A and B are shown apart, each in its own frame.
Chain A
Amino acid sequence: MASYTTARKRAENLGASGDGTHHHWTNIVTSVALVVLIPLFVFTFGSILGRPYAEAALALSNPFVALVIGLTLLVGLVHFRHGVQVVLEDYAHGTPRRLMIIAAICATYAILAAGLLAVARLAF
């Protein structure tokens, strides 16, 4: 179909992806946050796993622990959602690509919601 906008006008500021560098920038920001969050999460969660129920539940009700786990799940899964999209864009094409990207994003948000619900229930 003929387009009345020039090729330059369509490409300006947006690049081949159509949304410019926004996707890449989101993963840069989340990766910087995760450099701090991952070590905190590993040692917080790692020291709780293995304890009996009462002790684990008490530890998980601590606001700092809840924040570390909640933030790591939030930022980590948003990072995952963008990363997995790039993989699908590389290896899948056409309608299967779109369907898989939609499925992956929906599944990621479902896992994220379940995790945040659990953290909130344990904290309150």
Chain B
Amino acid sequence: MPDIPRGNRPLSPFMIGPHYRLQWTSFSSILTRITGNALIVGTVLIVWWLLAASMGPDAFATADAVLRSWFGDLVLLGSLWALWYHTLAGIRHLVWSTGRFMEIHVAETLGKAIFGGSFVLTILTVLILWLV
């Protein structure tokens, strides 16, 4: 029995741009992917800091200086926002997996909510960690 021919099949084109206007649903989906992947940068920094702390005061001083520099602050603050955004987007996917909130206008609203919510959570986290 011959197998199904697998060559020359049409591929779905990349739609965003001339054919497809970016919407809250697609924007929030793409941002989920970007934040999830970008979080590896902050993860590597934190793992390096932990490893340095486990090695002693000298190694710790180097890593700690980098993490607490303006560059470290920028990466960690960005990672904090990315972490909250990705978490909210993930919760949205878990809810969608139950079949709820799939209607287009509700999905659009959810996109706006997780985008706004990620900034609220980031500011709240910074305030809490600052004050406590």
Contacts and interface: CB of A to CB of B under 8 A. Distances in A.
Interface in B21-48: 33, 36-37, 39-40, 43-44, 46-47
A1 B128 CA distance: 63
B33 A87 contact: yes
A87 B40 CA distance: 14
Q: Which secondary structure characterizes the binding site on chain B?
A: helix
B75 interface: no
Contacts of A7: 4
Interface of B: 1-4, 33, 36-37, 39-40, 43-44, 46-47, 49-51, 53-55, 57, 60-61, 64, 67-68, 76, 80, 83, 87, 90-91, 93-94, 97, 125, 128-129, 132
13 contacts: A2-B2, A31-B90, A38-B83, A46-B129, A53-B64, A56-B60, A60-B50, A73-B43, A76-B43, A80-B39, A84-B40, A108-B40, A122-B54
